Amino acid sequence: MLNDFLEKFGNPIWGLDSSKKFKNSIIKLLGQMAKSRRKKPITSSKSYKKLEDRFINSFLPKEKDYALELLDLARVSYKLRDDDNIYLGKIEGQLYSVLSESKKRLGQRFEFDMKNLNIEEAILALNNPDYKPVIKNKDQFKGMKVKVKPRQLTGQPAGQGLAVGKARVIKNPEDLFKFQTGEILVCDAIDPNITFVVPMASGIVERRGGMLIHGAIIAREYGLPCVTGVSDAVDLIKNGQEIVVDGYLGIVIILQDKP
């Protein structure tokens, strides 16, 4: 069933190809999701018709047409905003598949390790048989090296509530497979292609955005505490650290270093 899904829709996780390695990881993650008591969207128990009527009735009778037009515009805008990210994710997935195949082909031509080969160097090497690709050291891809030990980080309150739990920092697609139920999701921004782990989280911290970023909207949909716009969140917060997410004030408190 998973093979059929990947054939039709591509890899559901951004930036990953459909190799056997990732298929097994996806199956493992799906098993954990099935066993966990995932949160359900708050609106799942509400009647959409009642919500729509309440919105329209908040306008004056003479403004009903305007209210309906505004509602239609909001629905189209919401769909366009998320769809373009999903399509871009699919394109990125194809790019990673091409890069994976390029590494295999170039690996037969050159003796050195192709693990850290980037797409630009792959294109140059494939188009020019005499070109020797430049492979950067893995350490060159690391983010900023932080020496300070932050205790309290500030951002924008984007989802009401308080959450305490261990941080799970997502820097690349593979990190998603390590996510455990009840952890606090810390990332650059929640892409629609990784939304499926949100019901397993107890809170959300994002480096980018404000009240209207995708992750903030999803957090409110599930009733999760959320703080966005936390500068360098993925570098200042470490995996396993006990943190508090204050979605009322927009504060993230680091209680202790990871064990």
Residue 99 main-chain phi, psi, to 5 deg: -65, -40
- Residue 69 resides in a domain: yes
110 and 165 co-located in one domain: no
| pLDDT computed for residue 202 by the predictor | 95
- Residue 225 resides in a domain: yes
CB-CB contact of 232 with 158 (8 Å): no
- Residue 178 resides in a domain: yes
Q: By residue range, what is the domain housing residue 95?
A: 61-141
174 and 95 co-located in one domain: no
The residue behind tokens 């459909």 is: 18
pLDDT tens digits, 161-207: 999 999 999 988 788 888 999 999 999 988 877 788 899 999 999 99
- 159 classed as catalytic: no
- Residue 180 resides in a domain: yes
pLDDT tens digits, 86-112: 777 777 777 877 888 888 888 888 877
Question: What is the arithmetic mean of pLDDT over 47-61?
Answer: 89
Instruction: State how far the Cα of 158 lies from the Cα of 144, in Å rounded to an integer.
Output: 26
Question: What is the arithmetic mean of pLDDT over 232-259?
Answer: 89
Instruction: With a cut of 60, say whether residue 140 has pLDDT above it.
Output: no
Instruction: State how far the Cα of 243 lies from the Cα of 185, in Å rounded to an integer.
Output: 11
Which entry of 168, 207, 214, 220 is annotated as an active-site residue?
A: 214
Domain termination site, one of 72, 107, 141: 141
CB-CB contact of 230 with 155 (8 Å): yes
pTM listed for this prediction: 0.66
| pLDDT computed for residue 192 by the predictor | 74
- Residue 100 resides in a domain: yes
Share of the chain above pLDDT 70, in %: 84
